[in-house]
Amino acid sequence: EVQLQQSGAELVRPGTSVKLSCKVSGDTITAYYMHFVKQRPGQGLEWIGRIDPEDDSTKYAEKFKNKATLTADTSSNTAYLKLSSLTSEDTATYFCTTSGMDAWGQGASVTVSS
């Protein structure tokens, strides 16, 4: 059974960047596309994008193209989401999930505040 372990909560300053990790265990990360999803407090789910760790190809939702960068490290079985130029609008919980979305990380809370 594949399991996803995400990095911890982050408190970051406006205008800075943050890089979140999602470590896959129970299988090799190259067996899956890795997706990231945003959920603002009390709100619904927004798809950010996905990466194919096999060849590092990516797809993003248009609104995240200048905000998010997805990468993957096959040697550590880990996918990463980097968020740049942070504003209060980026305060949210970010989830990673596998293709088919049948396995999810526990979520990583990002709070943007001065």
Partner 1 sequence: DIQMTQSPPSLSASLGETISIECLASEGIYSNLAWYQQKPGKSPQLLIYGASSLQDGVPSRFSGSGSGTQFSLKISSMQPEDEADYFCQQSYKFPLTFGSGTKLEIK
Q: State the binding string over 53-82 for partner 1 (x if CB under 8 A, else -).
A: ------xxxx--------------------
- Decide: 86 and 77 in contact? Cβ < 8 Å: no
Position 9 contacts partner 1 (CB under 8 A): no
The terminus-to-terminus CA distance of the chain in angstroms comes to: 40
Whole-angstrom CA distances from 30 to 51, 75, 76 are: 10, 10, 11
* 55 versus 62: smaller Cβ distance to partner 1: 62
Q: Tell me the site size for partner 1, rule CB under 8 A.
A: 20
CB of 62 to partner 1, least distance (A): 7
Angstrom distance (rounded) from CA 60 to CA 24: 21
Footprint (CB under 8 A) of partner 1, residues 18-37: 35, 37
Beta bridge partners of 111: 11
Chain residues that interact with partner 1, rule: CB under 8 A? 35, 37, 44-47, 49, 59-62, 95, 97, 100-102, 104-107
